[in-house]
A and B are shown apart, each in its own frame.
Chain A
Amino acid sequence: MTSEYKKPLPRPTINPEVSQPFWEGTKKHELWLQYCLNHNGHFFYPREVCPVCLAPQERLVWQQVPAKGRVHSYTTVYQPALPAFAEEAPFIHALIELDAGARIVGNVVGLSREEVEGNALELNQPVEAVFEDVTDEWTLVKWQRVDG
């Protein structure tokens, strides 16, 4: 919640209007995904057509989903591309498979430095979302371990 946040903020380049409900959700500390009424499934990232069945925009709705999932895979970043991330390296950049069925990228936080460097995080580790209000405008979704 500081104006001095130095790391990149989300830049909605494909279509800000389409992804807006996602970011409105995170500000309320909720996870919202698009749901396709045609094939009956969630997907991520936000789109104007369903990536599973090509259903058009009017068949896509937004739903709040349980902010829970599992670590599908991850990498421990020792050398970030951007200097702004340098001081917290190494950190975990993970792909989370949500219980709702879609995949989303985020950091897994709450591990000790020893755990991070020892690659103690296991794949399939159950995680839940934590919402980080990085500026007044933006809230990022990160993840922490929970008991399966």
Chain B
Amino acid sequence: MSLRGEAAIIGIGELPTQRSTPGRSMLGLLGDAARIAIKDAHIRKEDVDGIVTEGGATYPASVAEYLGIRDVRFGTGSSMMGASGATGIAIASMAVMNGLANNVLVLMGVARNPALGGGGEGFGGPGGEFEMPYGTAAGANTGYAMIYKKHMDQYGTTQEQLAHVASNQRFNALENENSAFKGQAISHQDVLDSRYVNYPLRLLECVMPCGGAAAAIVTTAERAKASLTNPVYVLGVGTALDDFGAYPKPEFTTSPVARSAPVAYAMSGYTPRDIQFAEFYDCYTILEAMCLEDAGIAPKGEIGPFFAATDTTYKGTFPINTDGGQLSSGQPGLAGGFRHVIEGARQIMGKAGVRQVARKDLCLVNG
């Protein structure tokens, strides 16, 4: 038994991603996203009987309380950092197919409100002792830059090739109402001309921290068929994780997707060749590129030439991050990784408007 075809997303809600969210809190933003999602799903708040949150800063019970969600039968945190949203969908799917709940609300988000302080707190772990004394760059820049450099050395990947990731996604974001960069075009050369934050990462290859939130409703296949929406069926799921820090792990230029993708493919009965478009986690160009090759979209080590040769805009032969992704929309905390699920569902529902992809039935998402 697997969850192939057993669960579906029937509603999505996403707030515009904003550089700052003055006056707003995380809980408040989550509420706004939840409201949009239940409306989209044509269900009532009272129909929600399950909730999946990130689980660290947002206990399911705190969120349920703030949002007045009663009679929650199933609640948990997915606690997978950037992958919390996608993992939340997997968890919700398992919950509904096994009868733990009927309508599970998955929601992620963060506020960016100077009045509330916040942001920039380090994680526990070895970083403060063994990395920070040597002058790390901001956020996760340092580790991903070193992965980038290693990938260049190992496979001949070039910055020129990966700049296409950023410029193609910016094209996709130009008419996205929910993008912080709506209408702000950049060229491939602009990416290459942008300053180094830390070599080989240039400014336009890194995400911009933002505020925002997103939500989705997952229900059983049976309920989905009876619903008034165009359901998005979950056909295969795989999860995997790696060391928190980049540096101890042996397979430095390989992501956990090398382990999660085969599981999802096997469950679904599809192969990389069948995938029509992809929505992939993209805090940095290199991370997205590496995960795509680990998912078999290009042979290992050949993602650079793939980007140089492929139109990955929504008009292209293999669309990737059709809403601009995080690189060209902004990263509202964990709603950043969740946006890949939301946009994939939006495309399959046929609600992507001007950026609707031509072949919209089978999407591969990496959170």
Contact = CB atoms under 8 A, between A and B. Distances in A.
A and B touch in the complex (CB under 8 A): yes
Interface of A: 14-18, 43, 47-54, 56-57
B25 A54 contact: no
A41 B113 CA distance: 29
Given A54-B34, A54-B67, A49 B28 contact: yes
Q: Pick the most buried of B28, B113, B115: most chain A CB atoms within 10 A of its CB.
A: B28
Contact of A53 (B32, B45, B115): B45
Contacts of A18: 23, 25, 28
B23 A17 contact: yes
B115 A49 contact: no
Contacts of A56: 32, 35
B8 to A, nearest CB: 22
Contacts of B32: 48-49, 56
B35 A54 contact: yes
B28 A15 contact: yes
Contacts of A49: 28, 31-32, 35, 67
Nearest to B31: A49
A15 B31 contact: no
- The 9 lowest CB-CB distance pairs between A and B, nearest first, are A51-B68, A48-B28, A49-B31, A15-B25, A54-B35, A17-B23, A14-B25, A54-B45, A52-B68
Contacts of B34: 54
B355 to A, nearest CB: 26
A17 B115 contact: yes
A52 B25 CA distance: 19
Contact of A15 (B38, B45, B116): B116
B27 interface: yes
17 contacts: A14-B66, A15-B27, A15-B116, A17-B115, A47-B31, A47-B66, A48-B31, A49-B31, A50-B68, A52-B68, A54-B34, A54-B35, A54-B38, A54-B45, A54-B67, A56-B32, A57-B28
Given A15-B116, A49-B67, A54 B23 contact: no
A16 B27 contact: no
Contacts of B38: 54
Contacts, number: 51
B11 to A, nearest CB: 13
Interface in B32-89: 32, 34-35, 38, 45, 66-68
A56 B27 CA distance: 13
B45 A47 contact: no
A57 to B, nearest CB: 7
A63 B10 CA distance: 37
Nearest to A45: B66
Contacts of A51: 66-68
Contacts of A57: 28
Nearest to A48: B28
Given A15-B23, A54-B68, 13 more contacts: A14-B27, A14-B28, A15-B25, A15-B27, A15-B116, A18-B28, A47-B66, A48-B25, A49-B35, A50-B68, A51-B67, A54-B45, A54-B67
A43 B29 CA distance: 19
B360 interface: no
B67 A48 contact: no
Nearest to A47: B66
B315 interface: no
B24 interface: yes
A40 B23 CA distance: 24
A126 to B, nearest CB: 27
Contacts of B31: 47-49, 54
